[in-house]
A and B are shown apart, each in its own frame.
Chain A
Amino acid sequence: MADIDFDGVTKVYGDGPPAVDRLSLHIDDGEFMVLVGPSGCGKTTALRMLAGLEEISSGTLRIGGAVVNNTLPKDRDVAMVFQNYALYPHMSVAQNMGFALKIRGESKREIARKVEDAARILRLTEYLERRPKALSGGQRQRVAMGRAIVRSPQAFLMDEPLSNLDAKLRVEMRSEIARIQRLLSVATVYVTHDQVEAMTMGDRVAVLRDGQLQQVATPQDIYDRPANEFVAGFMGSPPMNLVPCQLRPGRSRVEVVVADQSIELPLGYADTHSLPEAGADVVLGVRPEDVLIADATGANVLKVRVERVEALGSEALVHLAWGEGGASSSRDARSRSFIAKVGPRVTFAPGDVVSVQVSPEHIHFFDAGTGISLRAGGR
């Protein structure tokens, strides 16, 4: 077992922009690190460089303190679980699981023992003689896990291993993988574009975009204190509402002007949140669950129009719009609309004008130009 260290690792294909751009990331021994981001963000490329399946253009990659930039995949002692499982179709489950050990030259008895141990952990004992095509998706996924486990590698690398499963099975396997990882306590790098997987499985989450690391933190930290507008918008479902607005000096405090309405910030707020000078353009962010729809009047109450209500059973998503009239563009429409997550029993209908309240402590501010969080202390 070992720790993993990306030190300024870059991958460039041909003359194109970097697929991974100066990635610096340390993964502790036994840690479950999730790499998350949209398609093309470089997360799989980073994982493949770690596996030795892609060459590194520049930077240093270490596993257990040893530089592995030019080390062959077979000599890195890492095990990988692929998105489509990549099981060997002509081999039985037991042969699939024991294949790496066979190549390594371990005795048949030792291979059988390790395969049986792994099969017990993964509840695969009764399927050991079957071929992969005779297994369900979930069982195949577990065989792929088993193939990784029997090797007792220095690290597990998983490339979207749950994306081919149906929703119910995915939930089951999510906790199964997390359980096994904690049981074995092996450093794990898990690539996904699914933020629920990222939030529920990882000890820490690294968010990537266009090959660049945006933020590394615990899932809750990422959710509560996103480093920038991208992370705020990417993590969370529905995503954080992001609305362009302006700061202006109020009667005694700073006010945020959203469309033609304003929210007054408490005294000292500007100091603790590194807000720019009054008059500056910023982006206001608020999580849908922090938007309260109430009949309140007075300070910090905004009048908005209900556009659409999505009832999800346990909760409802209310799509709201600022101001009057139609938007001139879709971008304009986005900036004028936001979502509130409320209880399932809503009493209002599309077209109603309602009051919403946002508590200042739940408001995030981002620089309108760079998108970086304006929270004091930065990342």
Chain B
Amino acid sequence: MVLIAVIMLYPFWVMIGTSLKSEAQFLSGGGFSWLSWKNLTATIPVGQEVLSSTIVCTASILIILAVGLPAGFAFAKLRFRASTVVFLVIVSAMMVPLQAILMPEFVNVTKLGLTGGYLGAIVVYAALGTPFSVFLFATYFRGVPDELIEAGIVDGLGYFGALWRLVVPIAIPAIATVTVLQFIQIWDDLLVGLLFIQNTSERPITVGLAVLAAGRTTSIPELMAGSLVSALPAMVVYLVFQRYLVKGLTMGIDR
């Protein structure tokens, strides 16, 4: 465990240590300086980029949850014609790699006039993340006793009411799992942000870091400081939800 912890934490230690050095100190191997942090904020609008990433992430995840929850519920609990086939088609979309659909997506989103700001990226991220969330929620909801929903329906709820008032409150582990996994995926993604958010004032932090690394010379301490800023929100989200995450990821095992 200690060895694994060291392997996992060492990159962070290096990242923190390097970010607290100037270029010269980094090359000489010793010293302490806030210079790289000052330079980072001067080179790229870090605050704005973190905000952009947050907006894109939050909006995408909200759409993914808003679509995934009712769809997963419908596939798990409602009987309708060809539901298995439709479910398989949706789930099979998870197998399609992003790179394979990126150009067609770009063409479509451009035709809709959505490239430029956040909206194009949000739509693409939501479309990419929804199949997984439908799969995960359907799996989770299959473990919810039918009687619980039927009790709600006899008590006076409709199916949507039963979903929001009875099922969602007990689906927190599944919601946390989708949120964390999608957050990490979207937050760390460069390609979609680079292609679909063309306004420089709205670009996410990953694109900002790429710009930082794309200059004629790259300051490693500056890059490490930027990477640290980029990594922190994902870590915070993970730590907030981690107590639900294990339950969400292992669901179905003990049933």
Using CB atoms and an 8 Å cutoff, list the residues of chain A in contact with chain B.
51-53, 73-74, 78-80, 82-84, 86-90, 99-100, 103-104, 147, 151
Contacts and interface: CB of A to CB of B under 8 A. Distances in A.
Contact of B154 (A79, A88, A90, A104): A79
A32 B150 CA distance: 23
Given A86-B147, A86-B148, A90-B170, A103 B153 contact: no
Given A73-B154, A99-B155, A100-B155, A84 B170 contact: no
A103 B156 contact: yes
Contacts of A89: 170
Contact of A82 (B151, B158, B169): B151
A82 B166 CA distance: 16
Contacts of A73: 153-154
B150 A86 contact: yes
A86 B149 CA distance: 8
A151 B151 CA distance: 13
A74 B155 contact: yes
B160 to A, nearest CB: 13
B6 to A, nearest CB: 39
9 contacts: A52-B153, A74-B157, A79-B154, A80-B150, A80-B154, A86-B145, A86-B148, A86-B150, A88-B166
B175 to A, nearest CB: 13
Nearest to A100: B155
A86 B151 CA distance: 6
Nearest to A90: B169
Interface of B: 145, 147-148, 150-158, 161, 166, 169-170
Nearest 5 A-B pairs (CB), nearest first?
Answer: A86-B147, A86-B151, A100-B155, A103-B156, A74-B156
A151 B154 CA distance: 11
A88 B145 CA distance: 11
B171 to A, nearest CB: 10
Nearest to A76: B154
A74 B152 CA distance: 9
Contacts, number: 51
Given A74-B157, A100-B155, A82 B170 contact: no
A236 B170 CA distance: 43
Nearest to B161: A103
Nearest to B157: A103
A105 to B, nearest CB: 10
A51 B150 CA distance: 10
Contact of A74 (B147, B148, B153, B170): B153
A19 to B, nearest CB: 15
A87 B170 CA distance: 12
A84 B157 contact: no
A88 B162 CA distance: 11
B148 A88 contact: yes
Given A74-B155, A104-B156, A53 B170 contact: no
Contacts of A147: 151, 155
Contacts of B158: 74
A83 B147 contact: yes
B82 to A, nearest CB: 15
Given A86-B145, A90-B170, A103 B150 contact: no
Given A84-B145, A84-B147, A78 B154 contact: yes
Q: Which of B147, B154, B166, B170 has the largest count of A CB atoms less than 10 A from its CB?
A: B154
B145 to A, nearest CB: 6
Contacts of A74: 153-158
Contacts of B152: 88, 99
